[in-house]
């Protein structure tokens, strides 16, 4: 059984603007709406939403609904930077992170040891760290698959979280209106409404064959989704840039022979870890030395991966500065093969 957290920042662009300009707080604000963005809003804060102002709304209409609305020009660089900070926090819990947009992503924490593997407590801590460090709020949904985690995330939004435990799935999913189910757009929702299908409980009355007959291929997935079943994996777009292995000693080490033996062991362990990355190409090797006074130095070089290579690097660097050492590390960097997701065009730039 998987443990999935879905996190979505609250009123993301608007929250970043309010954080950086306190005079905007407690006012209804919206981001976007200038002619250069075809006069459409990217988002609005929750104050403005009380008036019906929302994403993708033309600014003229928004002003009519909310005459005091403050319009802020978007600053995508800022949102991208904030997004990076948010995803950096996620990385402390798992490598299996699937970004859905700048402000939203799935985390597969099945194998995370934090909080004794309690995904709910991890989500709580992630949200706390986001609010303390970045002064932004996030909401989270926690469950055993992507479908349920994403729906759960909307339950206590903004600034809240909701968990659907495995024994609660059956009762939870029955009450979900079909238009909230993943993959169901307006057109499909209307078609289903015409058949008097309002929620997943209604949908569950149809056989797999019926649903495939009515909906085509998607009917097959729908049969599972309306039962809360979703086998989709969290597809990480993150690519490891490097792998390392290091050790801090109980007592400082000053003997080169001893350090070489330690390096040999660290390198052998690293080699084992690298078994999982057989499809990647190693760019270079490095050795890190931290001295007793916490001064640190790294030597990095393109060379073949072998335990001997690391010992050579160690010897070379330590001979230049032979002082007591408190930490030794070995590591490699990979040749990058994937794009950094943050370098891709912003989804929002495309949407506006
Ligand atoms: P959302 O997560 O959909 O919205 P939100 O974060 O503003 O509000 P909440 O999650 O609390 O409901 O989108 C994230 C950001 O993406 C949003 O702040 C602005 C941008 N965006 C657009 O530019 N155009 C759009 O049509 C949408 C939906 C979002
Ligand atoms: Mg959001």
Map 102-141 to HEC letters.
Answer: CCEEEEECCCCCHHHHCHHHHHHHHHHHHHHHHCCCEEEE
334 C-beta closer than 6 A to ligand 1: no
pLDDT band at 132 (very low <50, low <70, confident <90, very high): very high
Q: Residue 350: is its pLDDT beyond 80?
A: no
State residue 173 phi and psi, 5-degree precision: -70, -35
- The C-alpha atoms of residue 152 and residue 216 are separated, in whole angstroms, by 27
List of residues 6+ apart from 83 with CB closer than 8 A: 102, 103, 342
Structure tokens at 21: 């300009």
% pLDDT > 70, the chain:
94
Report which bound ligand comes closest to the CA of 43.
1
Q: How far is the CA of 87 from the centre of ligand 2 (A)?
A: 14
Q: Using alpha carbons, select from 287, 293, 298, 295 the residue that is nearest to residue 329.
A: 287
This prediction has a pTM of 0.72
Q: Residue 217: is its pLDDT beyond 70?
A: yes
Q: Residue 343: is its pLDDT beyond 50?
A: no
Task: Give pLDDT tens digits for 231-263.
Answer: 998 988 666 788 899 998 989 999 999 999 999
State residue 32 phi and psi, 5-degree precision: 105, -160
Choosing from 28, 55, 130, 160 the residue with most ligand 1 atoms within 8 A of its CB, the one to mutate for a pocket test is 55
348 C-beta closer than 6 A to ligand 1: yes
Burial 200-221 (b: 16+ CB within 10 A, else e): bebbeebeeeebbebbeeebeb
**From the CB of residue 103, how many other CB atoms can be counted at a distance below 10 Å?**
25
What is the rounded average pLDDT of the residues 14-38?
89
More confident residue, 185 or 258: 258
Structure tokens at 302: 């393109």
158 C-beta closer than 6 A to ligand 1: yes
- 3-state percent helix, strand, coil for the chain, nearest multiple of 5: 45, 20, 35
Q: What does the DSSP assignment read for 3-29?
A: -EEEEEETTHHHHHHHHH-GGGTTS-E
pLDDT confidence of residue 284: 96
**94 in Cβ contact with 109 (< 8 Å):** yes
pLDDT confidence of residue 215: 83
CA-closest residue to ligand 1 atom 24 = 42
Which helix (DSSP H) or strand (DSSP E) does residue 77 occupy? helix 76-90
Task: Give pLDDT tens digits for 75-109.
Answer: 999 999 999 999 999 999 998 999 999 999 999 99
Query: Is residue 32 classed as helix, strand or coil in its secondary structure?
Result: strand
pLDDT confidence of residue 89: 97
230 C-beta closer than 6 A to ligand 1: no
List of residues 6+ apart from 250 with CB closer than 8 A: none
Which helix (DSSP H) or strand (DSSP E) does residue 296 occupy? strand 296-301
Return the active site residues: 104
Task: Give pLDDT tens digits for 103-129.
Answer: 999 999 999 989 999 999 999 999 999
- The C-alpha atoms of residue 239 and residue 340 are separated, in whole angstroms, by 8
Task: Give pLDDT tens digits for 302-336.
Answer: 999 999 999 999 999 999 999 999 999 999 999 98
Choosing from 10, 12, 17, 18 the residue with most ligand 1 atoms within 8 A of its CB, the one to mutate for a pocket test is 12
What is the rounded average pLDDT of the residues 190-198?
92
Q: Which of 157-171, 214-228, 332-346 is predicted least confidently?
A: 332-346
Whether residue 158 has a cis bond before it, omega within 30° of 0: yes
The number of residues in the chain equals 352
43 C-beta closer than 6 A to ligand 1: yes
Which domains, ranges and CATH numbers included, belong to the chain? 1-163 (3.30.70.270), 170-225 (1.10.150.20), 240-334 (3.30.1490.100)
- The C-alpha atoms of residue 300 and residue 309 are separated, in whole angstroms, by 11
List of residues 6+ apart from 37 with CB closer than 8 A: 74, 352
pLDDT confidence of residue 340: 54
- The C-alpha atoms of residue 313 and residue 234 are separated, in whole angstroms, by 38
**From the CB of residue 190, how many other CB atoms can be counted at a distance below 10 Å?**
10
State residue 245 phi and psi, 5-degree precision: -150, 125
Q: Residue 34: is its pLDDT beyond 90?
A: no
**329 in Cβ contact with 245 (< 8 Å):** yes
């Amino acid at each position: 059984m998987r443990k999935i957290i879905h996190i979505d920042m609250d009123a993301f662009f608007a929250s970043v603007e309010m954080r950086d300009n306190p005079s905007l707080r407690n006012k209804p604000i919206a981001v976007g709406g200038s002619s250069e963005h075809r006069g459409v809003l990217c988002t609005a804060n929750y104050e403005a939403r009380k008036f019906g102002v929302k994403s993708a709304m033309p600014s003229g209409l928004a002003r009519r609904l909310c005459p005091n609305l403050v319009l802020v020009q978007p600053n995508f660089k800022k949102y991208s930077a904030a997004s990076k900070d948010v995803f950096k926090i996620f990385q402390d819990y798992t490598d299996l992170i699937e970004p859905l947009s700048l402000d939203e992503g799935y985390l597969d924490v099945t194998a995370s040891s934090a909080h004794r593997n309690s995904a709910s407590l991890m989500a709580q801590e992630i949200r706390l760290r986001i609010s303390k460090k970045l002064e932004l709020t996030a909401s989270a949904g926690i469950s055993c698959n992507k479908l349920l985690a994403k729906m759960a995330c909307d339950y206590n939004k903004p600034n809240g979280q909701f968990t659907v435990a495995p024994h609660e799935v059956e009762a939870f999913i029955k009450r979900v209106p079909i238009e909230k189910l993943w993959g169901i757009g307006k057109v499909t929702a209307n078609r289903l409404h015409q058949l008097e299908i309002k929620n997943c409980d209604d949908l569950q009355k149809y056989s797999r064959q019926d649903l495939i007959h009515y909906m085509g291929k998607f009917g097959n997935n729908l049969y599972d989704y309306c039962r809360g079943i979703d086998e989709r994996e969290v597809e990480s777009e993150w690519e490891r840039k490097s792998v390392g292995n290091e050790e801090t000693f109980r007592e400082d080490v000053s003997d080169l022979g001893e350090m070489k033996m330690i390096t040999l062991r660290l390198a052998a362990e690293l080699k084992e870890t690298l078994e999982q990355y057989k499809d990647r190409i190693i760019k270079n090797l490095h050795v890190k030395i931290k001295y007793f006074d916490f001064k640190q130095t790294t030597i990095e070089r393109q060379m073949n991966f072998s335990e001997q290579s690391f010992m050579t690097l160690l010897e070379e660097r330590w001979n230049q500065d032979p002082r007591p050492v408190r930490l030794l590390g070995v590591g490699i960097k990979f040749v990058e093969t994937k794009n950094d997701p943050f370098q891709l065009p912003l989804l929002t730039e495309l949407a506006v």
